[in-house]
């Protein structure tokens, strides 16, 4: 009989919940989530109790009991948790953003929005390289949990692009909504930034992936990002902002709006937007303008279902779609939101990759290049949009 892959989740918040659900949908690979550990003991025990799994006191306690560590902690803990897991000989799934810069150790006065971005870029890249070096040394898999790569609409576009030998001339994408529910989000020390690392990472990394697919098909090596120009703003902390109570506003030191322009090494371009100021549910979409087709990939909203509800209270215990402000009137309920976002497909690919020894679709290259672009974007924004060379890890990409 084949050996069951034993998974331990670190963190017991939002991401841990949908990761756990995705493991329950894995087919063809024997896999079992055996435990969870988290800094928040009450939340951790509740998470474990509801799912009938073990609540471990700490990561070192959980490591001997598992084969895979699923790192669902806020960004600041991605490197220490992942490196400890690799050093213990475990495979690692790590949430987005891969890693970043979280301020000098023990400096409580750190404010990310005012900290020099050149140093941040250098430190974020160093962190990414330490994580990748730990993965390579351990010979275990690094699975970068960028779910947009696995969204069915993005995978369909990857198929169309590959089979039709298309070339992406311009890609456009956005992730925006009215604010993350995580208490860590909004504090740079914990999250590594705002809309740039927290939201633009999704459409950006899906575009990086599609340019990898295009490059592998046409030239036998990935097309990679070359330069970036970016602007960021703090819209809800603008003294002229009038708060009507519909948006999350209590961010400490992060941006809540960004736009990023990327030029690739083939001279083609992408534009990515992200913000925390959009009502009406999560706005997740990509548009690809290729030399032989045009594709619109809608993750949310989609029109798989259209609903008119005359009275709010009727649907008080019905889930409609992520971060919808009201259930009254017309809406587009997501029949299976996790599937449209690619969460189960992501975990399925990771488990297959670990089980068979192949690389996951979202691995070292997507993780590494995304950190380079995101923190180069911060440096560009500090310089009011000046074009910045993306520092890439030359050992990856072919």
Ligand X SMILES: NC(=O)c1ccc[n+]([C@@H]2O[C@H](COP(=O)([O-])OP(=O)(O)OC[C@H]3O[C@@H](n4cnc5c(N)ncnc54)[C@H](O)[C@@H]3O)[C@@H](O)[C@H]2O)c1
Residues of this chain that interact with ligand X (CB under 6 A) are 10-16, 38-40, 43, 72-75, 77, 95-96, 147, 182-184
Name the residue nearer to ligand X (CB basis): 39 or 126.
39
**CA 325 to mean position of chain CA atoms:** 23
Name the residue nearer to ligand X (CB basis): 69 or 262.
69
Structure tokens at 291: 């030399």
- What's the Cα-to-Cα distance from 100 to each of 115, 272, 383, rounded to whole Å? 13, 19, 19
Name the residue nearer to ligand X (CB basis): 90 or 388.
90
| 44 phi, psi to nearest 5 deg | -65, -45
* Min CB(111)–ligand X separation in Å: 20
Helix (H) or strand (E) holding 59: helix 59-62
Name the residue nearer to ligand X (CB basis): 15 or 143.
15
Q: Round to whole Å and give the CA distance between 328 and 153.
A: 28
* Min CB(95)–ligand X separation in Å: 4
Name the residue nearer to ligand X (CB basis): 38 or 212.
38
- Measure CA of the first residue to CA of the last residue in the chain; give whole Å: 36
* Min CB(258)–ligand X separation in Å: 15
* Min CB(315)–ligand X separation in Å: 24
Cα angle 364, 350, 67 (rounded to 5 degrees) comes to 100
* Min CB(63)–ligand X separation in Å: 13
Position with the least CB separation from ligand X: 13
Q: Which residues contact 240 (CB under 8 A, 6 or more apart)?
A: none
* Min CB(275)–ligand X separation in Å: 16
Name the residue nearer to ligand X (CB basis): 146 or 214.
146
* Min CB(200)–ligand X separation in Å: 12
Composition of the chain by helix, strand, coil, percent to 5: 40, 20, 40
> Which candidate, 150, 148, 177, 149, places its Cα nearest to that of 283?
177
> Which candidate, 273, 252, 248, 280, places its Cα nearest to that of 181?
248
Name the residue nearer to ligand X (CB basis): 175 or 380.
175
């Amino acid at each position: 009989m084949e050996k069951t892959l034993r998974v331990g989740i670190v963190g017991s918040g939002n991401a841990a919940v949908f990761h756990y659900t995705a493991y329950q949908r894995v087919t063809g690979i024997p896999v079992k989530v055996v435990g969870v550990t988290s800094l928040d003991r009450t939340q951790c025990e509740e998470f474990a109790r509801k799912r009938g799994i073990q609540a471990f006191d700490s990561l070192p306690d959980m490591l001997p009991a598992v084969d895979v560590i699923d790192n669902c902690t806020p960004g600041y803990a991605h490197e220490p948790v992942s490196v400890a897991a690799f050093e213990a000989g475990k495979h690692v799934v790590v949430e987005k953003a891969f890693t970043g810069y979280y301020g000098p150790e023990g400096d409580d006065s750190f404010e990310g929005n005012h900290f020099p971005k050149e140093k941040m870029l250098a430190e974020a890249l160093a962190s990414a390289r330490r994580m990748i070096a730990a993965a390579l040394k351990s010979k275990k898999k690094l699975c970068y949990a960028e779910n947009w790569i696995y969204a069915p609409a993005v995978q369909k576009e990857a198929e169309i692009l590959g089979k039709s030998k298309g070339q992406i001339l311009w890609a456009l994408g956005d992730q925006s909504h009215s604010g993350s529910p995580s208490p860590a989000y909004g504090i740079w020390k914990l999250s590594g930034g705002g809309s740039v690392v927290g939201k633009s990472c999704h459409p950006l990394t899906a575009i990086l992936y599609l340019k990898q697919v295009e490059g592998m098909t046409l030239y036998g090596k990935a097309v990679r990002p070359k330069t970036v120009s970016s602007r960021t703003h703090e819209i809800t902390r603008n003294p002229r902002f009038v708060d009507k109570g519909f948006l999350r506003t209590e961010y400490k030191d992060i941006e809540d709006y960004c736009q990023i322009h990327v030029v690739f090494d083939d001279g083609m371009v992408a534009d990515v937007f992200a913000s925390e100021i959009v009502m009406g549910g999560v706005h997740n979409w990509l548009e690809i303008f290729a030399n032989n087709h045009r594709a619109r990939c809608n993750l949310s909203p989609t029109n798989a279902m259209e609903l008119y509800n005359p009275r709010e209270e009727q649907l008080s215990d019905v889930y409609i779609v992520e971060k919808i402000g009201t259930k009254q009137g017309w809406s587009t309920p997501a029949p299976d939101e996790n599937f449209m976002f690619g969460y189960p497909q992501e975990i399925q690919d990771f488990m297959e990759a670990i089980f068979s020894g192949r690389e996951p679709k979202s691995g070292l290259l997507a993780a590494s290049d995304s950190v380079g672009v995101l923190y180069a974007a911060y440096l560009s924004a500090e310089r009011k949009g000046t074009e910045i060379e993306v520092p890439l890890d030359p050992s990856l990409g072919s």
